Every structure is written in structure tokens, then in C-alpha cells.
Structure 1
Amino acid sequence: LSTPDTGQVQVLGASARRAVASGRIAAVLQTGGLLPDLTVAETVQVIAGLHGAKPRIDDVMQLAGLTDIARRRVGKCSGGEQQRVKFALALLPDPDVLVLDEPTAGMDVKARRRFWNTMRESADAGRTVVFATHYLEEAEQFARRTVVMDRGRIVADGETAHLRAELGGRTVSATVPDTDARSTIADELRRAGADEVRVDGTRLTARTTASDELAAQLLAAGATDLEITAPTLESAFTDLTED
């Protein structure tokens, strides 16, 4: 919707403005865009008329989970319900590319789960879904590709699982009752160059690329409550954006 100062932007081979006008790209914005005095159903009907998409109204209302609140005025809807209304409006032209800005802000747990199930089905059907979020757990669970930006600059772009794996190693944690065994293993890990080796009471934690070997060693030393966790997208983001 904005005209760039320099350069060009194309969406599916056309200008961004033409792609928006033709319904090939749609967006769910975080704020604004709704008239409070209309009902949910009226809002969807008006926008459907603009796009010539009235046959899609029932399907879109169902996909967005709006059927039960169709007669409610938009101004009486919660923040999460209004997000679902915006989602329905974005789906009306059946876009090839769907852009989401903090799409689940204000949604409860059930609505968030239903929303992401719908997004996964859309992606499986061939639609490109691009979403900006600060909920990194959501990105970790649902994004197949992650682009990390730091102050407007792209610092990483790749498969989500690959970005996490690039951090190197998994975190292994266990309770080791034997004091001597605990100290010996911790010293060996530090000499081997393992990261974040910590001893908190009887609990030993370390990040290592040899997580299976460490787990076997801990179990042989009588360890209990063993946990092995992969790097998170949050830790990847922190590593990539720290000065």
C-alpha cells in the first residue's frame, strides 16, 4: 500500500498494488480496519460484495470460527474475536499469499490452536502464509521457514529446524545424587569444551553436541530425572541478534 522511495516490489509477478486489488495477496493486520456498529455477518457480507466473493461467505465464516457470533456487533467482540473477523475478511478473495501481523494476539488457547490448524491446512493446500510474530514458540511450532531480522536487516533465513540445529548441541540435565560423580562429570565436560555447564545442588546441566554419550554417562553414574532438550528458536534469535 506504500510507494517505495527506491527499488521495486513484485508479488507473483505483478506490482504489489495490483496483487492487492486482484485479491492475490491479503493481510490480517494487528489493529484497525473494522466498523464497530456492524455485526460480524454484515462485515463479512460487505467485504465479500467488494471482492465478488459472496459464495465463499459460509465457508469463510466457518473456517474463522465466526458462525456462533455472526449476529454480534463488532464493537462487542473481544480482541481475539476481532482478529478472527479480520482473518475471515482476508480469506474472502481466496488469496495465494496471506500476510499475518501478530495474528493470534488476544486469542484464547482454543482459538489459537484452531487458527493454526487452519493455517497449516492452508499451507498444505498450496497457499503461502507469511506471519510476523514475537511469540517465538508459535514460530517454532508452525513456521517451516524462519527469517530473523535485527534492526531491519536479515541476519538469518532458512528452515526453522535448521536454524535451531545450527546453534550446536542439546541441553542435557539430570539429578546426580553422588557428589564425587557429579563433580567428576562436570569437570570432564568443562575440559571437553561443553557450553553452559552448571551444577545446582544435585542437578547437573550442560549443553553439548554429544548429548547421547553424556546421557549414557549420567545414567551409569546413577542419575535420575534425565532431560534432553533441543535448542529453541528463542535461543537462536538471541544468539543471532546480540551485538
Structure 2
Amino acid sequence: MQTTAEPQTRVTPAPATQDAHQQDAVIELRGVRKGYGAGDRRVQAVDGVDLVIRRGEIVALLGPNGAGKTTTLDMLLGLTDADEGTVEVLGGRPARATADGSIAAVLQTGGLLSDLTVGETVRLIASLHGRAALGRVPEVLARTDLEKIARRRVSKCSGGEQQRVKFALALVADPDVLVLDEPTAGMDVTARRNFWDVMRADADAGRTIVFATHYLEEAEQFARRTVVMNHGRVVADAPTAQLRAGLGARTVAASLPEAGAEGILSSLRDRDDVTELRVDADRLTLRAADSDAVAAVLLAAGAHDLEITAPTLETAFTALTED
């Protein structure tokens, strides 16, 4: 029997966030609201968000377009102010943290100077943060895999390479908090893997990382905690594995015995927790909330080659954001 099942854990749609008074909290949002426009055209981009993120966490911020992710990140960076509520980074105003280099970002928007080389670009930004940052340039170029193209003009770099340049610019100040908006857009598979290897090492060293992404597999593989937003609100906040396992039934597959298959199917159809049951070439597939009980029924009836697959983060994401 092969199984990839995990212990079943129930996750409520909007669990409480971490205690705001924890000493290691580096990001705190309390009752945050932000809207744009006026009258009938007013859009409530962020609608009462409470969120606490601790030092060393890697947190994925997920949600469909218009969920409020980018507006939330903009407030963390001091690029826009909340209409209501409080936003604190490292115990103070976000603008102060941005100004002193305590928080840095890799954003989708924002251009690079195309006439400069990669090395010149990184050194220029490092010079704005002082001598210590300039001394970190060789290390940053190595960590972002830019050493080989340091003399290449930015205009000659691919989209993925330019994204790595932005990553290097965020690292030169040695920030306590990194905010990433679609950080690996345009990167190839190898570059994405190297990027997240660096991020994990940074988190282990105490750096806090918050990233928004449309790559659900990235959140599943690299985020230790996932926050899902929809219509400007946090609809789920939990460890990624717990969120994945607690929402959406598991998939159960098994080969049916030659005799008694109809009886098995009949008993399964009578179960309230079984959905999407189908049979293809004597191979049964279904979804079940209580996969262990279904597995016991199948094995007792003579089914074999049983497989139980835990729901993916995509399953949980869909369940949480569908209207």
C-alpha cells in the first residue's frame, strides 16, 4: 500500500493571529482598512485586517486578483497609509523602517536604469546605505548568482535576470524584513530553486520574509505559514501544511477486486463523506473527508494498490476564495 496521507487537521476559515505582544513580532497590523475612490466608485481594497508576523517566519500571502495583497504590502513598505487601524514594522512606522533599510522589497513594478551594468546598479544602491552596504556588494552578487553577468548592461538582461538584480538591491542594506511581490516572475526553474534556498537560509538566520505569489506550489514548498486574503479580508491564517490538510477532502484510489466490485461501489455511494466517485478500468477514484474509514472499507473488501493523497494548497485556496 502506498500512501501520502497526512494526519487530518481541521482548520477554521479565519483562525486567530499570533499574540501581538510577543517580543519577536516584527510586523503588526490591527484593524487596517484602506479604500480608493469615492461614492459609488469607492473600492475597499483592505477591509479590517489583523495580522502579526514574527521574526524568522516565511509567510506566503495568497489571494485572487483584487484580494488586497498588493495594497497590504504597500502599507507595510510605507508607500501608502491606512485609512483606519495601525501598521507597525519593528515597533515603528513603516516609512521609518524603509528609510533606515530595516525593511526592503522586491516588487513587480519599478524600473532599473537600463544603461548601467548589473554591478554598477548594485553598487549605486549600496552607496545610498553607507560603507557597510558597499562592503556587502561582492557577497550579494554571489548570493544572487549575478557575478557572471556583473558587467552586462541591465538592458541586455532577461526578465528573470532583472528580477535577480532587484533581489540583490533588496539585500545590500541587510534588512530585517524582506517583502516580495511575485519575486520569481520570469526566473527559470534553477534560478527559482536557488532563490528559495537563499530565502530559507535567511529565515533560519532570523530574517523575516513575506511574499505574495500566484505560484501556489511555491507557497506549498517554501512558506511555513500561509495567509489567504479575499475581498480585502484575511480568510485563513495557518501553518501551510495544516491549511492544506484541513481544507478539502483527500483523494483515495484503489484497484477493485474481480468479485464484489458492485457491492463496494454501492456501500461507498451510501456514504455522505464520499464525493466524485468514478471507476476507470477497474481503478476506483474518489474524494473522502474520512479517508481512513474509506480505506478500511476498501481493504476489507479486497481492494488493493491503495493510494491516499492529501489535498494540495490549491484545493484549500479554491475552497477559501470561491464565492
The TM-score, its normalising length taken from structure 2, stands at 0.70
Matched, 1:43 2:121: yes
Name which of 304, 312, 317 aligns with 1:223.
Answer: 304
Q: 1:208 to 1:67 in 2, by over 3 A?
A: same
Aligned residue for 2:285, secondary structure, equals strand
User: 4+ residue runs of structure 1 moved beyond 4 angstroms?
Assistant: none
Alignment correspondent of 1:188: 267
Q: Where does 1:128-139 land on structure 2 (aligned, <5 Å)?
A: 128-139=208-219
Name which of 202, 205, 230 aligns with 1:122.
Answer: 202
Matched, 1:154 2:234: yes
Unaligned runs of 5+ in 2: 1-78
Aligned residue for 2:86, secondary structure, equals coil
Kindly state the Cα deviation for residue 175 of structure 1 after the two structures are TM-superposed.
3.0
Identical residues among aligned pairs (%): 65
Q: Aligned partner of 2:246: which letter?
A: E
Q: 1:181 to 1:77 in 2, by over 3 A?
A: farther
Deviations, residues 65-84 of structure 1 (Å, cap 9, x unaligned): 11111111111111111110
Q: Say which is worse superposed, 201-210 or 18-27, in terms of deviation.
A: 201-210
Q: Aligned partner of 1:193: which letter?
A: D
Aligned residue for 2:314, secondary structure, equals helix
Unaligned runs of 5+ in 1: none
Going by fraction, where is helix more abundant, 1 or 2?
A: 1
Aligned residue for 1:14, secondary structure, equals coil
Larger RCO, structure (CA 8 Å, separation 6 or more): 2
Distance between the aligned counterparts of 1:186 and 1:99, measured in 2? 50
Kindly state the Cα deviation for residue 111 of structure 1 after the two structures are TM-superposed.
0.5
Deviations, residues 120-147 of structure 1 (Å, cap 9, x unaligned): 1111111110000111111011111111
Distance between the aligned counterparts of 2:303 and 2:236, measured in 1? 41
Alignment correspondent of 2:246: 166
Alignment correspondent of 1:32: 110
Q: Where does 1:203-242 land on structure 2 (aligned, <5 Å)?
A: 203-215=283-295, 217-219=297-299, 221-224=302-305, 226-242=306-322
Aligned residue for 2:84, secondary structure, equals coil
- Contact kept, 8 Å, 2:248 with 2:316, in 1: the verdict is no
Aligned residue for 1:171, secondary structure, equals strand
Aligned residue for 1:9, secondary structure, equals strand
Aligned length: 241
Q: Where does 1:87-126 land on structure 2 (aligned, <5 Å)?
A: 87-126=167-206
Distance between the aligned counterparts of 2:299 and 2:115, measured in 1? 64
Q: Aligned partner of 1:47: which letter?
A: I
Going by fraction, where is strand more abundant, 1 or 2?
A: 2
Name which of 118, 134, 157 aligns with 1:54.
Answer: 134
Q: 1:181 to 1:42 in 2, by over 3 A?
A: farther
